[in-house]
Amino acid sequence: MELLLKDKKMREDSLKSPAERNEEIDNENTKILKQIILEYGWPTISMAGKEASNAAWVIAQHADHDISFQKLCLSLLKQAQK
């Protein structure tokens, strides 16, 4: 949840001042989500809870700097639905 709060704050701040956009947050959040996925798999609702699962999805959406990771996340989400 902490990652999602950082993400949200950075985006709200960048609306006030586009220079405030901090890609470091996206990069760090992506790195952490990659570690989570590597260790546990996609954080489903049953595994991590609704808020954490939603946070993972938001972080994956904001990982535009790593398209292959976004594709992996989409694949994992599709697998989790089965």
pLDDT tens-digit profile of 6-64?
A: 888 888 877 766 655 678 889 999 999 999 999 999 999 999 999 999 999 999 999 99
CB 35 within 8 A of CB 41: no
CA dihedral 46, 63, 3, 10 (to 10 degrees): -140
Residue 45: its pLDDT value, please? 93
The three-state (H, E, C) secondary structure of 52-69, written as one string:
HHHHHHHHHHCCCCCHHH
pLDDT of residue 16: 65
What percent helix, strand, coil does the chain show, rounded to 5? 80, 0, 20
Please report the pLDDT score of residue 14 as a whole number: 75
For position 1, what pLDDT does the model report?
76
pLDDT at 7: 86
**pLDDT for the residue 21:** 64
